[in-house]
Amino acid sequence: MNIKIGPAGTSGLGYIEGLNKCKELALEALEVEFTYGVKMTNLQAKEIGILAKKNNVSLSVHGPYYINLASLERKKIGASKKRILDSCERAHYLGANYVVFHAAFYGKYSKEECHEIVRKEILDMQKIIKQNKWNAILAPETTGKKSQYGDIDELLKLARETGCAFCVDFAHLEARNNKKVDYDELFDKLKGIGHIHSHFSGIEYTSKGERNHIITPADKIKELLRAVLKHKKDVTIINESPDPWGDCVKTMNILSELR
């Protein structure tokens, strides 16, 4: 059983310094954030990837926020796919595996119609990834708002139908469903998944879902880690709180106590 912990982004340190900080803090994961656009060259990605390997840090990528694979405008779908594919290209040079993104909004579509549209676009992107021989795995994320495509059942179905991966955001699941996550039920659903790529943080939400990420409370961390240990899960936990470094260290300390 392998549990890797790391931050989302570097809180402004830059990736070279961020990776050295990961090594210093014994963190084994880092998510490269392209949330406001893919502004890294392939050459920069390659350099960062070499250092990550040297520092024994597994990288993943978070694609830009401006993505809607089920937009009513074909132009917006095309632009969304380009952003995801640009992220996949950088992921290849970074040596990162998962490319995480929020796939779509339901908009005027039913859940079933939206799923079908997302499925087709995922299959199309996978063809392009294969043609380019990029080592990158599409991993749409469980989303925090009821208006967004991406509850756990939708993503499990999508993974079965396309062979894509997915990212389980535990905080988003709580916000989306307006209740504490039932980890036993969730991990039962994830039984056949070898490695779980995940996000975690504290979260504030309303009846419509997610409002914002907050510092991760120690009791929430304990609850998650107890469940991971109980169900013997291989998991990467990327912390997305306003203080990801502090929360990663807190998570590592709690994990040591529980073990």
- Predicted confidence at residue 118, as pLDDT, reads 98
Write the secondary structure of the chain as one string of H (helix), E (strand) and C (coil).
Answer: CCEEEEEECCCCCCHHHHHHHHHHHCCCEEEEECCCCCCCCHHHHHHHHHHHHHCCCEEEEECCCCCCCCCCCHHHHHHHHHHHHHHHHHHHHHCCCEEEECCEECCCCCHHHHHHHHHHHHHHHHHHHHHCCCCCEEEEECCCECCEECCHHHHHHHHHHHCCCCEEEHHHHHHHHCCCCCHHHHHHHCCCCCEEEEEECEEEEECCEEEEEECCCHHHHHHHHHHHHHCCCEEEEEECCCCHHHHHHHHHHHHHHHC
Please tell me the predicted confidence (pLDDT) of residue 18. Answer: 98
Domain positions in the chain are 3-258
pTM listed for this prediction: 0.96
Q: Tell me the CATH architecture of domain 3-258.
A: Alpha-Beta Barrel (3.20)
Altogether, the residues listed in the chain come to a count of 259
Q: What is the mean pLDDT of each run of 10 residues along the chain (259 residues)?
A: 96 97 98 95 98 98 96 97 98 97 98 98 98 98 97 98 98 97 97 95 96 96 98 97 98 97
Q: Residue 7: its pLDDT value, please?
A: 98
The answer to whether 165 touches 138, Cβ cutoff 8 Å, is: yes
